[in-house]
Amino acid sequence: LSVHALAGLALLNLLFLWSGATIVWALRGLASWVELARLAGLSYLAGVASVGTIWVLLLVVGVSYSYATVLVVPLVVSVIAIVGGRRYGRRAPAFLGSIGGGPGLFVAAVAVTTAGVVLQAAFRGARLEGLYSWDAWAFWVPKGKAIYFFGELDQHFFTALPGSSYPPLVPVLDAAAFHVMGSPDVVTLHVQYWLFGVGFTWALAGLLSTRAPAWILWPFVLLALMAPRIGLRLDVPEADLLLDYFFVIAAVLVCFWILDRQRWQLAVATVLLCGMVLTKREGLLLAAVLVVATLLAAGRDLRAVWRPLAVMVAVVGAVAVPWRIWYVVHGVGGEGPSTSGLDPSENVGRLWSSIRLAVEVLVDGEYWSLAPTLALGAILVAALARATVLVVFFGALVVLVTLGGGWITWAIPELEITPEFGANPIVRFMGAATLICIAAAPLLLASAWSATTDLRAEGPR
């Protein structure tokens, strides 16, 4: 634990931010510096996903993972993005831009301050936190140490540890942090995960701030930080929350793409989904859920959306395959359930118990505070206001993720029907549904609010 370690982490995360910002700039263009700042969280997560994905692919094909790899890959990504952006005629932000005014500005200022104080408090914990989380010390961090020390996916080590088929993005990010810190400092490593949490918070607020008024948006952002299972675990060096961050921000972008049809939205979502499928096994399930929800929400526009969606699926699938080949070649058991996992008649009683468990976990305030309950209310309000696309998209996501959680428990007979962490991963998995609720609620309520204010503007008929 030293200034050197913290400075190294700062460098690494600036590289993530820089490479992601060049990607967002190349794909979207950034007109003003305020816009650049608003999308800085999105850029950061895009940087983590893109650079991390390339690191994983390089490791899988046998390229040595060294300090040079850690530094060169983000720089190469940014050079490619800058060259591509220039070809598309992108220009540097030309003016400062505006952050608006009026009461909304003050609501946002107070909320940013509150979020900042909460995150500062979390930082103080992250700065001194020992490696006590079970999965973190049992295999995530040891795998990161192995990559750091050996520079490769050591066959014996990776196949012997628990969770040997889990994708290696998180260990690769840990190893990158160890390189820039100068040692496998498992205490300061918690700061890296705190930074992922800050990036997600910024990405969510930045993306939604142009679609929802500050007084609707910020209570939900703060709710995310206050939810015990999220806010108290921001710094835990495990894959669960990072997986959820990628999923939720990608889902928000895909939602905007359904509404706006701007290609950059789907392109950046694809980058995030590539990171997601290399973060945890559940990433594949969540990617499938997102595709189904998109097809349902697209409705009559199915013909227009299926081709871009197919390209997204192809890219994400292509990124997911090499790791799966690696572990199959090295004799590691697969990541699917031990039963067929597809025939509901196999064990109907267990199926219902599993789904009920997933629903109970989703609405349990001890894990997620009020977030899912409020979001379900927001879905109802938005349905009354006929915000059909948003209601179908987010409603389908919440339902499908919940069913997915139930399916995991049902399809793996070794899992007990219990929310106990050691016996069933359902609480970890349902974080994705909760964060989707938190992202969806401001959009749903804002659309209902704008519908009612539009009606008022029209006056009595």
Partner 1 sequence: VRRELLAATAIVVVPLLAYPLLSVSGGAPRFPTRDECVVVATGDAPDLDVVYGRFEDLAAAEDLLAEVTRVGFVGAEIEIDACGRWKVFYDGIPSYVQGDELARQVREAGFEAQVEVGG
Report the run of H or E that residue 109 belongs to, with start and end: helix 103-128
Q: List C-alpha distances in Å: 172 to 2, 141, 318, 363, 375.
A: 22, 10, 19, 34, 35
The least distance separating partner 1 from the CB of residue 83, rounded to whole angstroms, comes to: 36
Q: How far apart (Å, rounded) are the C-alpha atoms in residues 101 and 99?
A: 7
Our CB check for partner 1 shows the closer of 128 and 348 to be 128
The least distance separating partner 1 from the CB of residue 100, rounded to whole angstroms, comes to: 9
Per rule CB under 8 A, is residue 106 in the interface with partner 1? yes
From candidates 113, 338, 418, 452, binder to partner 1 by CB under 8 A: 113
From candidates 1, 82, 351, 363, binder to partner 1 by CB under 8 A: 1
From candidates 105, 325, 348, 455, binder to partner 1 by CB under 8 A: 105
Our CB check for partner 1 shows the closer of 101 and 422 to be 101
Per DSSP, 137 falls in state: I
Select the span of 24-32, 41-49, 124-132, 156-164 touching partner 1 (CB under 8 A): 124-132
The least distance separating partner 1 from the CB of residue 252, rounded to whole angstroms, comes to: 24
Per rule CB under 8 A, is residue 388 in the interface with partner 1? no
The interaxial angle of helices 282-298 and 388-411, nearest 10 deg, is 150
> Which of 41, 448, 370, 454 is closest to 208 using CA atoms?
41
128-167 mask for partner 1 (x: CB under 8 A)? Answer: x---------------------------------------
3-state secondary structure 208-273: HCCCCCHHHHHHHHHHHHHCHHHHCCCCCCCCHHHHHHHHHHHHHHHHHHHHHCCHHHHHHHHHHH
From candidates 5, 15, 21, 108, binder to partner 1 by CB under 8 A: 108
Per DSSP, 91 falls in state: -
Residues 131 and 186: beta-carbon distance below 8 Å: yes
Beta-bridge mates of residue 95:
32
Which residues within the stretch 43-102 sit at the binding site for partner 1 (CB under 8 A)? 99, 101-102
Which backbone phi and psi does 32 adopt, to 5 degrees? -135, 165
Q: How far apart (Å, rounded) are the C-alpha atoms in residues 390 and 382?
A: 8
Our CB check for partner 1 shows the closer of 98 and 340 to be 98
The least distance separating partner 1 from the CB of residue 128, rounded to whole angstroms, comes to: 6
Provide the 10 A C-beta neighbour count for residue 225.
19
From candidates 116, 336, 341, 365, binder to partner 1 by CB under 8 A: 116
From candidates 76, 117, 328, 384, binder to partner 1 by CB under 8 A: 117
Catalog residues that contact partner 1 under the rule CB under 8 A. 1, 99, 101-102, 105-106, 108-110, 112-113, 116-117, 120, 124, 127-128
